[in-house]
């Protein structure tokens, strides 16, 4: 039966032909220069080498190498022989090493993230980190085995169609054994066998099915397929799956398992400060914990295929996921083949995840596209391809803000969402009301969502009179309060995804006094600071009781009367100043107090056993550190 051997340790890295460095994977060479906004952001080809002893394997076994993510193109060479190449920085790919293996081996991986016109992404508001930034492992399998060469997939596809309390589980497997037989076993979450079947294409009845029901009850079954040849078991594959059904109504939004389930959540990029995209499992787990803390029930995993481990976490914790390929910002006629191969990999590798409910075709593709006819045709091809690969899930895409209601690209996919920053890049938060309601009026049968919205925020910048563009923590609060109320009034929006959960690197930007970054997150890039807006979302979405005193970083205030804001999902909060009760308010999510400010004031907010505190003080002049300086950047978009 198959064996796995992780080979992340002890690689030699050659940085643009310079002196070699010894390191362990995962690794990116842009963990610093891709995050500082400087001119030294290096894109090109670097080389990784590893010497290894061939794993033990019998004469009737094969040895594969499995790469979980290499950005963006890779050439893999073993003992001087080219095994193959792969274009696409976010998906799994494999090569068979067996015929070129020796007892001692030299593996060379040439990794290229240079500018070109054929591999996506090439133009976008995030850093394109070069490197082998996910796990690498060796697979030892019998020569007759489940498919390993088909778009990096697992060799098994499971789909559960729910009907009247039962589920018909469709299990398909692919293998290379001409006379092989396949036995399928389905187990419940406790490991008990609940159903069995036989064959490479079989449908198995699962009675009294336990549904995968989002964040309330993300129940998972497991499915194992065993391949036998001449009565001998030679290979097996196993995957988790969930039984659920859903639909989207253009008037009432998203429904999960027959019940209204408004999708309210966030977008996520996969990078971190000084780490880039070379994340550990612990990093993924911490990200998921914070997303769960605010009570989100959906994640748009932008703008590329994310780590399989994070999709697993989404399955485990009940997140409804929008998964997409990096077909973004600019259509490249020479890149059509790459969009197709990346889409085949995305769907094939992720088909079994119950969390994934939508396949994204593209993002803001109309920003700078010249050949619109070719672009539209590319979208139609992708849309048809997804329906062929997976008829059970709808397609969607994210439209650029300047892409109007009637733009043809907005009417190809099954669903559509818009990236709208009304109230940030343009004045007037009320424009969101006009824009969305007009689209819904003109296209009442078209399912509409918000794939991005948000505004920049530096947690060290503050204002008692926040304005658009000041990048203050207070304006981000003001903006998000408006948007959350706006969404509550519009049940027809099938999903809303905040841009972004976390600050992320964007080498082309220069904003907020910290170049090379997009600061629209409600958590900082290093995950150490939860901005006040984080708690605004928690107040709206989370059921975990809490109180949060806003403005704790806004200590120095030049006014003699000041505002104190509290976020809470409790119905009543009390504010104390220097131990004296100011007032008790009954309200809903956002509580605003006004207090006189003389000298230093210790604030404490209380609701039952819950409390939070901070200190503010009166100063004669505004603290200049709270204001964006002249060298703070252009304050505009990245394009």
**Using CA atoms, how far apart are residues 381 and 54, in angstroms rounded to an integer?**
43
* Closest alpha carbon to 143 in 65, 63, 66: 63
Give me the catalytic one of 61, 364, 452, 456. 364
- Rounded Cα–Cα distance for residues 465 and 467 (Å): 6
DSSP character at residue 401: T
Least Cα distance to 492 among 257, 264, 248 occurs for: 248
**For residue 559, which of 465, 460, 459 has the smallest C-alpha distance?**
465
- Separation between Cα atoms, residue 20 and residue 462, nearest integer Å: 46
DSSP states along 229-250: ETTEEEEEEEEEE----EEEET
Annotation says 364 is catalytic? yes
d(C-alpha 85, C-alpha 33), whole Å = 26
Strands 20-23 and 81-87 turn out to be unpaired
Token pair 């394109």 is found at: 128
- In the block, residue with structure tokens 């009954």: 586
Report how many helices (DSSP H) and strands (DSSP E) the chain contains, helices first. 7, 42
Q: CA–CA separation, 243 vs 245, rounded Å?
A: 7
Between CA 441 and CA 52 the distance in angstroms is 63
Q: Which two tokens stand for residue 626?
A: 């709270």
Q: What single DSSP character describes residue 475?
A: H
Beta-sheet pairing, 320-324 with 356-363 = parallel
Q: What is the DSSP letter of 276?
A: B
Q: Catalytic positions, please?
A: 364
């Amino acid at each position: 039966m198959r064996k796995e051997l992780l080979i992340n340790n002890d690689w030699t890295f050659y940085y643009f032909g310079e002196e070699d460095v010894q390191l362990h994977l995962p690794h990116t060479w842009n963990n610093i220069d891709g995050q500082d906004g400087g001119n030294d952001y290096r894109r090109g080809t670097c080389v990784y080498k590893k010497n290894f002893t061939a794993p033990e394997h019998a004469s009737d076994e094969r040895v594969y190498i499995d790469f979980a993510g290499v950005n963006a193109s890779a050439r893999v060479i073993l003992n001087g022989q080219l095994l193959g190449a792969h274009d696409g920085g976010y998906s799994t790919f494999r090569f068979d090493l067996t015929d070129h293996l020796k007892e001692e081996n030299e593996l060379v991986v040439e990794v290229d993230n240079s500018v070109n016109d054929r591999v996506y992404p090439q133009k976008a508001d995030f850093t394109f980190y070069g490197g082998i930034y996910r796990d690498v492992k060796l697979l030892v399998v019998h020569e007759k085995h489940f498919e390993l060469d088909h778009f990096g997939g697992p060799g098994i596809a499971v789909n559960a169609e729910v009907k009247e309390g039962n589920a018909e589980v469709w299990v398909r497997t692919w293998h290379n054994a001409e006379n092989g037989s396949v036995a399928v076993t389905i187990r419940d979450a406790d490991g008990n066998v609940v159903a069995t079947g036989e064959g490479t294409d079989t449908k198995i009845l699962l009675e009294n099915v336990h549904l995968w029901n989002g964040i309330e009850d993300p129940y998972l079954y497991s499915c194992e397929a065993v391949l036998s040849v001449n009565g001998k078991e030679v290979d097996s594959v196993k995957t988790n799956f969930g039984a659920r059904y859903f639909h989207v109504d253009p008037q009432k939004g998203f429904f999960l398992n027959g019940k209204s389930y408004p999708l309210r959540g966030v977008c996520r990029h996969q990078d971190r400060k000084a780490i880039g995209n070379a994340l550990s499992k612990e990093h993924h787990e911490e990200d998921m914990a914070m997303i769960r803390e605010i009570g989100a029930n959906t994640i748009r995993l932008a703008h590329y295929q994310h780590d399989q481990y994070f999709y697993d976490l989404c399955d485990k914790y009940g997140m409804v996921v929008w998964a997409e390929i990096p077909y973004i910002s600019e259509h490249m006629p020479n890149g059509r083949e790459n969009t197709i191969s990346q889409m085949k990999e995305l769907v094939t590798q992720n088909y079994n995840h119950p969390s994934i409910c939508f396949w994204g075709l593209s993002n803001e593709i109309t920003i700078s596209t010249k050949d619109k006819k070719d672009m539209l045709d590319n979208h139609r091809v992708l849309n048809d391809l997804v329906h062929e690969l997976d008829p059970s899930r709808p397609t969607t895409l994210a439209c650029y803000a300047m892409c109007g209601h009637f733009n043809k690209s907005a009417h190809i996919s099954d669903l559509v969402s818009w990236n709208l920053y009304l109230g940030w890049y343009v004045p007037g938060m009320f424009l969101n009301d006009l824009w969305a309601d007009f689209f819904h009026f003109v296209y009442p049968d078209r399912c509409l969502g918000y794939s991005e919205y948000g505004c920049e925020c530096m947690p060290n910048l503050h204002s008692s009179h926040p304005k658009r563009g000041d990048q203050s923590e207070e304006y981000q609060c003001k903006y998000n309060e408006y948007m959350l109320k706006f969404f509550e009034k519009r049940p027809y929006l099938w999903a809303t995804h905040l841009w972004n959960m976390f600050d992320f690197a964007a080498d082309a930007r220069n904003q907020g006094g910290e170049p090379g970054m997009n600061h629209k997150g409600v958590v900082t890039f290093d995950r150490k600071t939860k901005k006040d807006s984080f708690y605004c979302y928690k107040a709206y979405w989370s059921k975990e009781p809490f109180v949060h005193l806003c403005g704790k970083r806004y200590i120095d205030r030049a006014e003699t009367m000041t505002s104190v804001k509290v976020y809470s999902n409790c119905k009543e909060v009390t504010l104390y100043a220097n131990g004296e009760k100011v007032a008790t308010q009954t309200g809903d999510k956002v509580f605003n107090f006004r207090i006189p400010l003389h000298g230093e004031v210790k604030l404490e907010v209380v609701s039952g056993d819950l409390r939070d505190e901070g200190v503010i003080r009166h100063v004669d002049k505004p603290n200049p550190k709270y204001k964006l300086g002249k060298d703070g950047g252009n304050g505009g978009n990245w394009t």
